[in-house]
Amino acid sequence: MKASAVGKIILFGEHAVVYGRAALAVPVTQMRAQVEVLPSSRPGIWIDAPDVKVSAELNTLPSDHPLAALIHNLFFALAVDPFPDLSIHITSSIPVASGLGSGAAVSVALTRALCGALARPLTDEQVSSYAFEIEKLHHGTPSGIDNAVITYDRPIYYVKDRPIEMLRVAEPFTIVIGYTGIPAPTRDAVAAVRRLWEAQPDEWNVVFDGMQTLSQLAREAMESGRWRHLGPLMNENHALLQRLTVSSPELERLIAASREAGALGAKLSGGGRGGNMIALAPGNGPQAVADALDAAGAARVIITEVRQQD
Ligand code: PMV
C-alpha cells in the first residue's frame, strides 16, 4: 500500500495564525513524501526512512519519536491488536526542517498508507488531526495549518479551531521560493514571538490584527483573479514580520534580490530566522527572480504555480 503527500508554503499570516488570526497556505506539488507499507516476513514493524537516518524496529524507537508516536497513536485509536508485521519505507523530496512541511507530509502519507494497509479508511479531518498530534512533537504549539494544507492538498484559508475553508484561485500565479540554507526551528521562532506577546500583548495584538487584514485582502485578490495585488500585500506582511523579529540578514538579502529582479512582492514564509522566503513572479515569468535568488546565494530555488485544483 502506497501513499504520498505534498509540501507546502504559507503565503500570509504565519505567527499571527498561532494567535487565532487567519492565514493562507498552498500546497507545493512538485515535492512529495512517499510511504510504502508492505506485509513483512520478519516479526515486528520495520521502519526504513533513509532521509532522516532511521532504520529500526518500532519498539526500539523512543516513544516520543514522531514516527513511533504516529503509529502508536493510530493503532491505539483504531484498536489494532496485535500489531501486524509490517515493513514501512519512507522517502521524501521535501527538504527537512526547511519550512516546507516535510514532517507533516510524512505524517499524512504514513497515516494514509497504514490505514490503506489495514483497510480502515479515515476522513481527511481524521488524517489531519493525527498529523496535528505529531506536529506538536515537532513544533510545541503549532497552529495546525501545516497538517491542514497538506492533508487537503488545496490552497486554504485557515483559522485555528475553525472548519477549514478552501480558497478559490481565480487565475493561476507563480511563486518563487528561496531557501536560505539555514535550518530554522519553528519552535524557537514561535517561542520568541510568544515572549514578545506576553510582555506587551496590546502592542502585538495590533500587529496580528494587521496580518489578519492582509490575509483577508489576499484572499479577495486570489478569489477575484487580481493576483498582482498580492505583491504589495506580501511586502506589508513582511514588514510586520520584521517587527516581530523573525527575519534574518540572509532572508533580507534574498528578499531584496528578488524585488530588484522584478518580483511584485516578497516576504519570509514560515517560522523565519532562516528557512524560506517567497516572491511573487511578475507576469513575464519567474526566471529572472529565480536567477537573482541563485546569484544572491539561495541554497535552493523552487518555482511553483498556485492554481485551482480539480
Ligand atoms: O515553519 P513552518 O513553515 O512550519 O511554519 C510555521 C508557521 C507558524 O505560524 C510560525 C507556526 C504555526 O504553527 O502556525
Index of the ligand 1 atom closest to the CA of residue 269: 3
Chain centre to alpha carbon of residue 235: 20
Q: Are 47 and 67 in contact (CB under 8 A)?
A: yes
Q: Is 270 in the pocket of ligand 1 (CB under 6 A)?
A: yes
For ligand 1, atom 14, name the residue with the nearest CA. 143
> Cα 251–255–257 angle (5° rounding)?
120
Instruction: Determine the distance separating the centroid of ligand 1 and the alpha carbon of 286, expressed in angstroms.
Output: 25
How confident is the model at residue 214, as a pLDDT?
98
Lowest mean pLDDT among 79-83, 174-178, 187-191, 306-310: 306-310
- Per-residue pLDDT band for 7 (boundaries 50, 70, 90) equals very high
3-state SS assignment for residue 13: coil
* Predicted confidence band of residue 137 (pLDDT cuts 50, 70, 90): confident
State the pLDDT at residue 197: 97
| 174 against 96, higher pLDDT | 174
Find out whether 99 and 184 touch, Cβ atoms under 8 Å: yes
Candidate from 143, 164, 277 with most ligand 1 atoms within 8 A of CB, to mutate = 143
Asked if 228 and 264 count as a contact pair (C-beta separation under 8 A), the reply is: yes
Q: What is the mean pLDDT of residues 277-287?
A: 96
Residue 97 has pLDDT above 80, yes or no: no
Rounded to the nearest angstrom, the distance between the alpha carbon of 54 and the centre of ligand 1 is: 25
Q: Is 146 a catalytic residue?
A: yes
Contacts of 11 (CB under 8 A, 6+ apart): 24, 25, 26, 175, 218, 230, 234, 269, 278, 306
Task: Please state, for a pLDDT cut of 70, what percent of the chain lies above it.
Answer: 100
Q: Which ligand 1 atom lies nearest to the CA of residue 13?
A: 9
Is the pTM value of this prediction over 0.75?
yes
Task: Please state at what angle helix 124-139 crosses helix 102-117, rounded to 10 degrees.
Answer: 140
Pocket of ligand 1 contains residue 145 by CB under 6 Å: yes
Q: Which residues pair with 276 in a beta bridge?
A: 179, 269
Rg of the chain over Cα atoms, rounded to whole angstroms, equals 20
Grid coordinates in use for 249?
A: 540578514
Among 48, 64, 124, 146, the active-site one is 146
| CA 283/CA 164 separation, integer angstroms | 30
Residue 169 has pLDDT above 90, yes or no: yes
